[in-house]
Each structure stands twice: as C-alpha cells, then as structure tokens.
Amino acid sequence: MEFAAIKEQIFADLGIEAINAGIYDGDWGSITGRKTLDIQSPINGEKLAAVALAEDTDYDRLMEKAWESYSVWSKIPAPQRGSIIREIGNELSKYKETLGLLVSLEVGKTRIEGMGEVQEMIDIGDFAVGLSRQLYGVTIASERPHHRLYEQWHPYGVAGVITAFNFPCAVWSWNALIAAVIGNVIVWKPSPNASLTAIATNRICSRILERHGLPPIFFLMVDERGALGERLAKDTRVPLLSFTGSIRTGRQVAQQVSARLGRTILELGGNNAAIVSDKADAEIALRGVAFGALATAGQRCTTTRRLILHAGIYDEFLGKLTRVYQTVKVGNPLEDGVLVGPLINRGAVDLYSAAIRRAVDEGGRVLCGDEVMTIPGYEGGHYVRPTLIEGSPDMGIVCEETFAPILYVLKYSALDEALQIHNSVPQGLSSAIFTTDLREAEAFLSVRGSDCGLANVNTGTAGAEIGGAFGGEKETGGGRESGSDAWKAYARRQTVTINYGAELPLAQGVRFEV
C-alpha cells in the first residue's frame, strides 16, 4: 500500500484531522485562534497534519481539573481502577495496527517496531492490572507491646510525564498506567515531533473513562518549545515529574524540581556498550550487536554505541559486521525488508555528520557508512548510512551520545581492560557482554563489573522486558520505570503506628510522667 493510502486509512481509523487539538483537560480544546505546528513525516518530509498548540493560559485550568479528577479517582478501590486499566489495554489492542502505523509515519519506525510499541502499552496495562491487587506494604515488628507497625503507599496526586519522540507512546504508558492504577492522574507533555501519536493514544485511553462516567485522568498538552514543560518542573502542584530526554535538559529539570523539593524520575542519555569476548558464540554476538546498533536507526536510548571487541577475534568479527552494515537495507520503514528507517529530522542528520567529522578529527577511522542518503521517491526524508568507526576510548566523541546509527569499535585484550573501557563514560543505562565463559559473565555482573542499570549477557543492549525495572545510573539519571517495584516511585510511603493497648509506652524505653 502506498504512503498516501496508509495515511488516509489510519487517519480515518484514529480520527486524525487536518488540524488537531493539542490540549485535553477533559474536553479537547478549540483549534480556533491557536498557533499550529505542522507535523512532517521523516519518511518523505510530507506534512501529515497540524496540531493546535496548548498555551500558557490553558495550564492553570488544566491543572485545576487534574486535581479535581484526582479527588474522585483516588477514592476508587485499586482493584476497580485496575479493571478500568484492563479495558484500556483491550481498547489499545483494537488499534494495534493503525496506531503502530501512525508511530511509523510520525517518527520513522519500521512497521514491526511501531506495532511493537503499541504491544508494549498493552503489556504494561496487563502488568498494571495485576499490580492493582498487589500494592503491598510490609508489617514490621514493633518493640512496644500492644503496638502494630506497618507501611502503606498512597498516590502523590498529579504526576507530570514528559516524553521523547523515539518511544512516543510506550514510555508514557510505563508511567501513566502504573501511576494511574495507584490512584494518580497524569499530565502528559509529549515531544512535539510525536504529538499526533500522543493525541491518538490519549483519545483511545480517555474513551474508556468516558464510557464509565469517570472524570478524565489522562491530561495532555502539546507545545512547541518546552515552556509548558518548564512550568511542570517548577509547579508545586506537580509533586512528581517523570522526564525522558537529553542529559542537558534533564539536568535543568532536576534542578528546577529539586529546588521546590519535588520528586523526579529521570531517564536521560545512554551511551551503551557491548563487550564481545573471544569466547562468545559468534552468531549470537553478531546478531545482538547489529540489532542493538541499527534498530530504530540508532535512535533508542538503549542503542549500542560502543563495541568493545576482543583482539583475538577482532578482524574476523569486524569483517562480518562490516558486511552487515554494507548490506543492511535503509529506506522507507513501511516497506518489507527495511531495518533502518529515517532519522527524526534534518537536525539529527546534521548531528550525525558532525559526530563523524569530529571522530575523524580525533583519530577515528571510518570503516563504512558516512553518507547522507537520498532514497528515490522519498527525497524529503532524513536518511543516513549506518556507520562503523574504528577508534579508541580516549576519543572525546566516544564519551558522548549521538542519536544516530554510529558505532565506535574499540579493541581490548583482557576482561579487566574491557570493563574499564566500558565504565569510562559518564552515562550508565544499558550494557551487554557476549561470552560463553561463566567466569567472564559473572565478572561482568559483579559489583566491579558493569556500572549500568541494565546488564545483559548474550543478548543486546537495545530492548527490555516490561517486567523488569527500567533505568540507568550516573548521568542517565537513576530513575526506574515499568516493572518490578518501580511502581513505588509513583507513591508516597507512609509508616503507620497503632497503639491498641491501655497504656502509652514510648520507643527506646523512654519514660515520661505527667
């Protein structure tokens, strides 16, 4: 099916108009008189639609309505909230294909990746449903007679969520569906580069609440340059703010929120490495490194950006990887067989080129790639050739994240050297080692091994299951989202003491007589 036909089909199914309201506060805002933002597809540069932007004057009204909704939503028993989330997951299932295709059109993911992103929302919905009956607090042995001591967890109220373009709806769901089942309501400020996906997602999810006569719990505001995001960061009415984006912006968000003693969940830059040992299964390692480096055109926070390759297999493995890079299909992500689609915009292409030039200036050697591509029929798209650069750990560019398909290849001889190279960057999100040696694997997972939040053995850096907590260390921010007990970040802990006796004994044996 041609691009235009796919666009027409999914716009009709999802209710995307020529101009779409970029604010939802229980009602979709009027588009009249508002500044609009044109949304262009990175596939061919074609305008998809426009979004009427939220304005500063909308903010206070939206926040007031969010707190009004919280006063209702938080009183509903958690298992009943879970049943609503179940219906939301079921509704998302109905739109898996069309919403996934919208992701592809708007941010350039392949069809499989676009639908996989929607599936991730469905999966996290399932997780949240189960969680709704497992919001456990522990009972603690009290040192005082006739006393009970325990912990319980309450929602914060309004949680702000700021998301990036590369996962335009899945990361929102990690936050929103978990936070909602705890009793919070959510104010979402998506990337303007992915605002149509956000609008469609919010519309699908809010429909379920409307059917049940419930107030809105998913609020949305799209702006162009981040002014409303800054208001979220500074607003004491937003006790918790989750931010996904660059380290530079994340540092500003952290300072603004901490200045008012608010809470943050920060998912910032990744500069992920894969160590390939001479004891690796070569086929698994090749597939793991290639997918980790090439998926989503290198625009994942978990993308493999550094290959730390053992000297004993260096030439052979690098020769095979180079052939993969030279033959991988780059182009329209809606076409079968395409693995690498476009970068998000022209600015990303410029950063790709600048990073390669800098790497060469710092002593790197380009093995393949280094090409801004023009795809016939898609001349307005933003395509680049995946690039391999042979380098050294002391190159400054190797310590930085470039959101593009550039992989730096670094040589090592001993595992201690590989781990030192691995941990030498300021980011700490995802990591991998490919080895069949138990001692090497355990060393990588030990306290002296990978310093990242995610550690993988014989699987790549890119991709994570929703059941595990997702997040990183160091400049990656230290936040955790999605599975395990990451839900506790969206709730405030309360320690409860109950005296059911006839006396008032004090802790630590303190005596007080009146």
Cite the active site residues. 267, 301
| Count of helices and strands (H, E) across the chain | 14, 25
The type of residue at 173 is S
Contact 195, 16 (CB under 8 A): no
User: What six digits make up the tokens of 8?
Assistant: 């027409």
* Contacts of residue 247, Cβ cutoff 8 Å, sequence gap at least 6: 268, 269, 401, 426, 427, 475, 476, 477
Contact 171, 164 (CB under 8 A): yes
Residue 243 pairs in a beta bridge with 162, 266
User: What six digits make up the tokens of 500?
Assistant: 């059911």
How far from the centroid of its chain's Cα atoms is residue 123's Cα?
A: 15
Residue 54 pairs in a beta bridge with none
End-to-end alpha carbon distance in the chain: 85
Q: What is the DSSP letter of 56?
A: H
* Contacts of residue 416, Cβ cutoff 8 Å, sequence gap at least 6: none
Alpha-carbon torsion (455, 461, 467, 469), positive or negative? positive
Q: Give the separation between CA 279 and CA 183, rounded to whole angstroms.
A: 49
Contact 223, 190 (CB under 8 A): no
The type of residue at 407 is L
Q: Give the separation between CA 175 and CA 504, rounded to whole angstroms.
A: 43
Contact 162, 242 (CB under 8 A): yes
Element (H, E) at 230: helix 227-234
Contact 159, 242 (CB under 8 A): yes
Give the three-class secondary structure for 451. coil
User: What six digits make up the tokens of 150?
Assistant: 């325990």
